């Protein structure tokens, strides 16, 4: 397996607010063709450190990719430093200048004198055209190693890498295809998932399985490696199917969809409509549902009944019910779900009421106590949950639990815990 | 000025989905005491590369901080590699083991045998207690340089760094204080902001000014450096005040608050209540308002009237108005704001109706066309906006514009553009 290192150049990437994200995208592309990233460096506009970094990387790894520092100003040092690091001169190329000038002509601006600097390239490097910016990239091969010099802006870097570099690297790496699949699970804890599927994934070195815990979803990442794309797909399918079988209804997607997309598809397929009544989630569930383009086909109305008077007036929750059980109760959750469904005349109504914190908790009704309601023409039900986390996480987990309750009800197969 | 390098250890940080974020927090803390981060490395559980990285960093920089790789398993190699890199032995420390065992006793679990590994530390290093986990940190001083070895989980790393390391580094760095201030602006474009305030900030080398564009907010970041904290604060105040004066009402915070916090404070101070009617934003505005703990003091009700029938039924928008002007119109925005205010009996009502895309746009009403409504007892008004971006950005920008419209109205000083 070939090894790669990625070097991000730019002093702004060494500030507290800016992270290098190009390397994540590059890593994904490299992994797909079976090249492993072994080290990443972020270095400022600092000639000595950059030169040392490039030299070290070329000594240790088969592929070295630098991003950024190719702009036209004084503090863009990648051009001269990368030439120095590989023991070459920078040479001025008329044909490169012509291409840069042409680009300025196309966007109807005069080329500033300063941009001529970008026509200097490493002697004997292959020059990579940049249709989205003025800085050309470079590919330099030395001792069987690839040194790739790319501009920093993602919209310049990505097409350049995909069009020029990826085909060459694929050839160099040999026919290895790495494909990935994401399975998402709701309504089960991390250790329960691991316990259930470990007997499956431990049988396979390939695909590799990683379990990630992400807010309130468990994600199971599979990565398969094979000599052909279809073989990698087949390996993925085989394990994904076994895992999905084992976990049953807790799996809500095996194709990288979000919960709100899954719900949207189910509602569209069954030609059903939805309305939502929220208290502690404050609009989050409706916001998630409407993030999906085309949600107007099935989503009719949402009510955020934050105050008790709003629950009574807008959702027809009986005042006596709130007085008897409190606003945070299964009875009120059910009345909210039924109330919004009847008001909006939809097939389904769902609701959430709970204590998101940090204040407002009591011994009897602590922070994290949440009731989820569901109502259709046939039945109105609620479930009770105790969700861990801070205000943000409790709200997010409550929204996920409500959508998952609806999903399970629609699949007519609810398993209460 | 002292220089620092940060090394993040862990193979999971070399995957396409996981970025090192500890270094951003560490950079902020280091910058505050005048230490500049010159290079960052991410390296996997790879002994040779990690050893070389530590040695290079200690040769080049005054302070080297590593994070991660201190767990109890085989693939956690930071302990032995860091000892080797500084030419020392790992020694077993009974007192460290006692502390680790005590921690397990506190959380009422038996210490697995494997955790004994974490009681091995670099000979003559200072051991840093970890009240939030089992891995102790280390501080090793060599040739006047600081080598700091920290665990990876943020809740273990942060208190350890703040309690043990920061005071020592402050002493080493000398009395330099760097303080920051964030000014946020709504309702003005980036170039208009820059044009207005460049004559101010160009007069100052200190504080340094950076303008960032973040979704639909302009952020102006000021960083001042001085020998005392109060002098740094004074420098910040001076420039912040001038900038805030120049930009006037467009500045919604000079103290790093979010728009929804600013609105919450205004409503609380004036003892007013709010209701919200949303169409294309789908709950996002209510969700933002209720992200602030204590929003129940002023937020009564939200309605997401996604379908036209919901606008008519729930918000009393006259059917004829929708037929005459379309659901996306100033007239309907005003009727929605007034309708929700009257229904919820609040002091203010705000509304949004628009085309978030990607579908649904026409020549007359293109994607990005959004109307914002405002209503109180005295008046009901609307504004029209053409917002750029994809569905996510249009929704976010519309939510920001609606909150900003309310803010300006509350400040009784609306400047329409």
* Cα–Cα distance, A138 to A66 (Å, whole number): 10
pLDDT at A257: 93
Burial call B35-57: b when 16+ CB within 10 Å, e when fewer:
bbbbbbbbbbbbeebbbbbbebb
Closest partner residue to B16 (CB to CB) among A28, A38, A56 is A28
- Nearest CA distance, A132 vs chain B (angstrom): 19
- Nearest CA distance, A165 vs chain B (angstrom): 18
Least confident of A50-64, A90-104, A106-120: A106-120
Closest partner residue to B286 (CB to CB) among A212, A282, A294 is A282
pLDDT at A176: 81
pLDDT bracket for residue B271 (50, 70, 90)? very high
Residue A167 has pLDDT above 50, yes or no: yes
Which chain B residues contact residue A39 at CB under 8 A?
14, 41-44, 46, 49, 53
Closest partner residue to B287 (CB to CB) among A43, A283, A295 is A283
Which tens digits make up the pLDDT trace of B50-72?
999 999 999 999 999 999 999 88
Q: What is the largest CA-CA distance in chain A?
A: 85
pLDDT bracket for residue A80 (50, 70, 90)? very high
- Nearest CA distance, B350 vs chain A (angstrom): 14
- Nearest CA distance, A46 vs chain B (angstrom): 8
For residue B160, give the nearest of B34, B22, B38 by alpha carbon.
B22
pLDDT at A414: 40
Beta strands in B26-164 (DSSP E): 36-43, 63-67, 90-92, 120-122, 126-128, 137-142, 145-150
Overall pTM > 0.90: no
pLDDT at B143: 86
Quick check: helix, strand or coil at residue A301?
strand
Count of CB pairs separated by less than 8 Å, A with B: 200
Q: Mutating which of A31, A290, A298 best tests the B interface, going by the most B Cβ atoms within 10 A?
A: A290
Burial call A71-92: b when 16+ CB within 10 Å, e when fewer:
bbeeebbbbbbbbbbbebebee
For residue A71, give the nearest of A26, A6, A5, A12 by alpha carbon.
A12
Q: At what angle do helices A47-60 and A78-85 cross, to 10 degrees?
A: 50
Which residue is closest to B360 within chain A, CA to CA? A294
pLDDT at B127: 96
* Residue B175 backbone class (left: φ over 0; alpha: ψ -120 to 50; beta: rest): beta
pLDDT top residue among A263 and B11: A263
Which chain B residues contact residue A285 at CB under 8 A?
283
Which chain B residues contact residue A299 at CB under 8 A?
282, 306-307
Across the interface, do B310 and A295 touch by the CB < 8 Å criterion? no
Closest partner residue to B293 (CB to CB) among A17, A39, A359 is A359
- Nearest CA distance, B299 vs chain A (angstrom): 7
pLDDT bracket for residue B230 (50, 70, 90)? very high
For chain B, the average pLDDT equals: 92
Across the interface, do A289 and B299 touch by the CB < 8 Å criterion? no
Across the interface, do B283 and A304 touch by the CB < 8 Å criterion? yes
pLDDT at A135: 92
Which chain B residues contact residue A27 at CB under 8 A?
14-16
Closest partner residue to A303 (CB to CB) among B25, B53, B303 is B303
- Nearest CA distance, B32 vs chain A (angstrom): 10
Across the interface, do B310 and A344 touch by the CB < 8 Å criterion? yes
Q: Which residues pair with B9 in a beta bridge?
A: B43
pLDDT at A256: 86
Q: What share of chain A is helix, strand, coil (3-state, %, to 5)?
A: 45, 25, 30
Residue B13 has pLDDT above 80, yes or no: yes
User: What's the DSSP call for residue B131?
Assistant: T
Which tens digits make up the pLDDT trace of A242-300?
999 999 999 999 988 999 999 999 999 999 999 999 999 999 999 999 999 999 999 99
**Range A387-392 contact pairs with CB under 8 angstroms and sequence separation of 24 or more:** A387/A216, A387/A354, A390/A357, A390/A358, A391/A356, A391/A357, A391/A358, A391/B291, A391/B293, A392/B291
Which chain B residues contact residue A296 at CB under 8 A?
306-307
Across the interface, do A39 and B41 touch by the CB < 8 Å criterion? yes
Which chain A residues contact residue B290 at CB under 8 A?
280-283, 304, 306
Centre a 10 Å sphere on the Cβ of residue B408 and count the other Cβ atoms it contains. 20
Q: Mutating which of B34, B221, B301 best tests the A interface, going by the most A Cβ atoms within 10 A?
A: B301
Residue B417 has pLDDT above 60, yes or no: no
* Cα–Cα distance, A325 to A163 (Å, whole number): 64
Which chain B residues contact residue A31 at CB under 8 A?
15-16
Closest partner residue to B42 (CB to CB) among A40, A283, A285 is A40
Across the interface, do B301 and A284 touch by the CB < 8 Å criterion? no
The encoded tokens of residue B333 equal 């925005």
Which tens digits make up the pLDDT trace of B129-169?
998 888 999 999 988 899 999 999 998 999 999 999 999 99
- Average pLDDT value for residue range B233-243: 96
Centre a 10 Å sphere on the Cβ of residue B347 and count the other Cβ atoms it contains. 19
Across the interface, do B38 and A60 touch by the CB < 8 Å criterion? no
pLDDT at A416: 40
Q: How far is CA B244 from CA B232, B237, B238, B254, in A?
A: 18, 10, 10, 8
Which tens digits make up the pLDDT trace of B74-120?
778 999 999 999 999 999 999 999 999 998 888 777 888 888 999 99
pLDDT at B413: 47
Residue B237 has pLDDT above 60, yes or no: yes
Q: Which residues pair with B306 in a beta bridge?
A: none
Domains contained in chain A, CATH given: 3-173 (3.40.980.10), 177-253 (3.30.70.2860), 259-410 (3.90.950.20)
Closest partner residue to B301 (CB to CB) among A42, A294, A307 is A307
Across the interface, do B304 and A283 touch by the CB < 8 Å criterion? yes
Residue B415 has pLDDT above 60, yes or no: no
Across the interface, do B52 and A56 touch by the CB < 8 Å criterion? yes
Which chain B residues contact residue A37 at CB under 8 A?
14
Which residue is closest to A211 within chain B, CA to CA? B12
- Nearest CA distance, A98 vs chain B (angstrom): 31
Least confident of A27-31, A156-160, B191-195, B330-334: B191-195
* Cα–Cα distance, A103 to A99 (Å, whole number): 6
- Nearest CA distance, B339 vs chain A (angstrom): 13
Q: Which residues pair with A386 in a beta bridge?
A: A369
The encoded tokens of residue B47 equal 């002994």
- Nearest CA distance, B292 vs chain A (angstrom): 9
Residue A415 has pLDDT above 60, yes or no: no
- Nearest CA distance, B21 vs chain A (angstrom): 8
Which chain B residues contact residue A314 at CB under 8 A?
301, 303, 314, 343
Residue B215 has pLDDT above 80, yes or no: no
- Nearest CA distance, A185 vs chain B (angstrom): 18
* Cα–Cα distance, A412 to B172 (Å, whole number): 66
For chain A, the average pLDDT equals: 93
Q: Mutating which of B40, B283, B292, B308 best tests the A interface, going by the most A Cβ atoms within 10 A?
A: B283
Which tens digits make up the pLDDT trace of A300-315?
999 999 999 999 999 9
Across the interface, do B392 and A359 touch by the CB < 8 Å criterion? no
């Amino acid at each position: 397996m070939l090894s790669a290192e990625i070097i991000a150049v730019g002093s702004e990437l060494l500030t507290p607010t800016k992270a290098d994200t190009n390397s994540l995208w590059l890593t994904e592309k490299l992994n797909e063709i079976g090249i492993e990233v072994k080290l990443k460096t972020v270095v400022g506009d600092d000639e000595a450190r950059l030169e040392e970094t490039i030299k070290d990387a070329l000594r240790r790894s088969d592929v070295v990719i630098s991003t950024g520092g190719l702009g036209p100003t004084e503090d863009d040092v990648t051009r001269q430093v990368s030439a120095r690091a590989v023991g070459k001169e920078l040479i001025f190329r008329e044909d490169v200048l012509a291409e840069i000038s042409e680009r300025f002509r196309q966007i109807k601006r005069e080329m500033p004198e300063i941009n001529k600097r970008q026509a200097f390239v490493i002697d004997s490097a292959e020059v990579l055209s940049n249709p989205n910016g003025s800085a050309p990239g470079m590919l330099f091969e030395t001792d069987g190693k690839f040194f790739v010099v790319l501009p920093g802006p993602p919209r310049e870097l990505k097409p350049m890498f995909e069009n020029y570099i990826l085909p060459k690297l694929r050839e160099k790496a040999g026919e290895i295809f790495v494909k990935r699949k994401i399975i998402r699970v709701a309504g089960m804890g991390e250790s329960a998932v691991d316990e259930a599927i470990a007997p499956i994934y431990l049988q396979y070195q390939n695909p590799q399985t990683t379990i990630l815990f992400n807010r309130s979803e468990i994600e199971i990442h599979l990565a398969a490696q094979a000599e052909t794309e279809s073989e990698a797909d087949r390996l993925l399918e085989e394990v994904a199917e076994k895992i999905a079988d084992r976990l049953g209804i807790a799996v809500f997607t095996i194709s990288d969809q979000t919960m709100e997309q899954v719900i949207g598809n189910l509602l569209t397929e069954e030609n059903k409509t939805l309305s939502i009544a929220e208290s502690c989630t404050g609009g989050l569930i409706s916001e998630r549902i409407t993030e999906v383009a085309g949600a107007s086909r099935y989503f009719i109305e949402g009510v955020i009944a934050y105050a008790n008077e709003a629950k009574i007036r807008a959702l027809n929750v009986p005042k006596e019910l709130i007085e008897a059980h409190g606003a945070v109760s299964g009875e009120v959750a059910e009345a909210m779900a039924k109330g919004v469904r009847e008001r909006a005349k939809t097939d389904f109504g769902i609701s959430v009421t709970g204590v998101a914190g940090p204040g407002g908790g009591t011994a009897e009704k602590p922070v994290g106590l949440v009731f989820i309601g569901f109502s259709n023409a046939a039945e109105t039900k609620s479930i009770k949950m105790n969700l861990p986390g801070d205000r943000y996480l409790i709200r997010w987990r409550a929204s996920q639990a409500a959508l998952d309750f609806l999903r399970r009800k629609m699949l007519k197969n609810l398993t209460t815990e």
